Amino acid sequence: MALIVSRGADCRSYTVGRVLIRIEVGPLDTPCHVWQGTKLPSGYGHGSYQRRHFLAHRRAWEQAHGEIPAGHQIHHRCERRDCINPDHLELVTPTEHAARHPQGEAS
């Protein structure tokens, strides 16, 4: 099990699936829960558990809501790819997701 223990007052432990991670909790006006583990070159939080790799924000959404239906994506309302706050994550279809990002790259 990946285990990253909270070390500071601005952090707390958080489970993503069965993986306990350490996240920072930002100031109240920036409530993003920023993944502190490995990040992909694309900026998404990334982890592995028993040799199975996962995207942190997808696991965070699943922890809050259950399994992501096939063919769906998770949109970051806050546009921070490394944020795993379930309140900032939205389940969307690829079509809906493209509509959320009329100009920029998906996040």
The site for Zn ion (CB under 5 A) is made up of 32, 75, 78, 80, 83, 85, 88, 100, 106-107
**Would you say 51 or 96 has its CB closer to Zn ion?**
96
List of residues 6+ apart from 101 with CB closer than 8 A:
107
Provide the 3-class DSSP secondary structure of residue 97.
Answer: helix
**Would you say 50 or 64 has its CB closer to Zn ion?**
64
Q: How far is the CB of 100 from Zn ion (least distance, A)?
A: 5
Q: How far is the CB of 20 from Zn ion (least distance, A)?
A: 20
Would you list the DSSP string of 53-85? Answer: EEEHHHHHHHHHH-SPPTT-EEEETT--TTB--
**Would you say 51 or 105 has its CB closer to Zn ion?**
105
Q: How far is the CB of 60 from Zn ion (least distance, A)?
A: 10
Rounded Cα distance, 89 and 107, in Å: 10
**Would you say 53 or 96 has its CB closer to Zn ion?**
96
Rounded Cα distance, 62 and 99, in Å: 23
Q: How far is the CB of 27 from Zn ion (least distance, A)?
A: 13
